[in-house]
């Protein structure tokens, strides 16, 4: 009994480190406001996944079988939120005056993963594919939570710093508009890939 920690860490790294709605939000926030200003948002994003892990670990997904309509509504609410986020990214200017404009904070970061279909799919896959039958619920949930938080601590700042680095290169140039629209398109594409093609990717 237990969690296949090494295998799950490899899986977690492949998911947390690759493009998705959360990483696009981190990238665009780092690009718009800089790495330091984005750190509270980064912390919120990292801890926000815990708001999904623990309820799923203690049986939330059983509700999906009993009341599937609830999760259908949740799924499309997630899609609507991510599309709205992508629209904001697409119309964001890296070079405009930032006076009086604050970076999204910790609370805004907390909302990202609960409204991220990729996060739900990733966590569900973790419990169904890497946890041995009969493993105590607390042990399984705590292990999944620690493993994911560890990978987020590594990868989330990298994406955010990458956004700052990109912004320094393109801010104020014609390519800036195309970059922001590309990031927005990747954000939306990642959601629909998870929902309709990638399954638990």
What's the CA gap between 181 and 50, in Å, rounded? 30
Q: What is the radius of gyration, based on Cα positions, of the chain?
A: 17
Q: What percent of the chain has pLDDT over 70?
A: 78
The tens digit of pLDDT for each residue in 78-128 reads: 677 767 767 876 776 665 555 567 888 999 999 888 888 778 878 887 888
Could you state, in order of their start, the residue ranges of all structural domains in the chain?
Answer: 5-198
Q: Which two tokens stand for residue 156?
A: 């989330």
Closest CA to 77 of 131, 130, 120: 120
Statement: residue 152 has pLDDT above 50: yes
- The predicted pLDDT at position 100 comes to 63
Which residues partner with 131 through β-bridges? 3
Mean per-residue pLDDT, 51-62: 82
Mean per-residue pLDDT, 7-20: 85
Mean per-residue pLDDT, 146-163: 94
Mean per-residue pLDDT, 13-42: 86
Q: Which of helix, strand or coil describes residue 158?
A: helix
Statement: residue 201 has pLDDT above 80: no
- The predicted pLDDT at position 179 comes to 75
Q: pLDDT band for position 200 (50/70/90)?
A: very low
Statement: residue 73 has pLDDT above 90: no
What's the CA gap between 150 and 144, in Å, rounded? 10
H/E stretch holding 21 reads helix 21-33
Q: Which of helix, strand or coil describes residue 131?
A: strand
Q: Which of 39-43, 98-102, 113-117, 149-153 has the lowest mean pLDDT?
A: 98-102
More confident residue, 49 or 82: 49
Q: pLDDT band for position 195 (50/70/90)?
A: low
Q: Which of helix, strand or coil describes residue 171?
A: coil
Q: Is 122 left (phi over 0), alpha (psi -120 to 50) or beta?
A: alpha
Q: Which of 150-154, 155-159, 179-183, 189-193 has the lowest mean pLDDT?
A: 189-193
What's the CA gap between 37 and 153, in Å, rounded? 17
What's the CA gap between 13 and 147, in Å, rounded? 9
**Which residues, including other chains, have CB under 8 Å from residue 191's CB and lie 6 or more apart?**
21, 78, 79, 82, 83, 117, 118
What's the CA gap between 117 and 9, in Å, rounded? 20
Q: Helix H segments across 49-136?
A: 50-57, 62-66, 68-90, 106-110, 117-130
What's the CA gap between 164 and 38, in Å, rounded? 10
Statement: residue 64 has pLDDT above 70: no
Statement: residue 161 has pLDDT above 90: yes
- The predicted pLDDT at position 194 comes to 56
Which residues partner with 3 through β-bridges? 131
Tokens 């604050």, residue located: 102
Statement: residue 143 has pLDDT above 90: yes
């Amino acid at each position: 009994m237990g969690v296949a920690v090494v295998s799950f860490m490899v899986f977690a790294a492949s998911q947390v480190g690759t493009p998705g709605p959360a990483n696009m939000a981190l990238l665009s926030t780092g690009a718009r406001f800089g790495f330091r200003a984005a750190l509270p948002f980064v912390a919120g994003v990292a801890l926000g996944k815990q708001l999904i892990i623990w309820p799923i670990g203690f049986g939330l997904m059983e509700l999906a079988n009993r009341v599937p309509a609830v999760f259908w509504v949740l799924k499309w609410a997630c899609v609507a939120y991510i599309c709205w986020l992508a629209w904001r990214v697409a119309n964001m200017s890296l070079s405009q005056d930032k006076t009086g404009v604050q970076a999204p904070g910790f609370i805004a970061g907390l909302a990202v993963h609960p409204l991220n279909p990729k996060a739900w799919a990733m966590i569900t896959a973790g419990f169904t594919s890497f946890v041995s039958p009969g493993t105590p619920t607390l042990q399984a949930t705590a292990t999944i939570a620690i493993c994911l938080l560890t990978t987020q601590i590594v990868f989330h700042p990298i994406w955010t710093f990458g956004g700052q680095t990109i912004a320094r290169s393109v801010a104020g140039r014609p390519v800036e508009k195309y970059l922001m629209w590309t990031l927005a398109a990747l954000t939306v594409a990642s959601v629909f890939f998870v929902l309709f093609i990638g399954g638990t990717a």
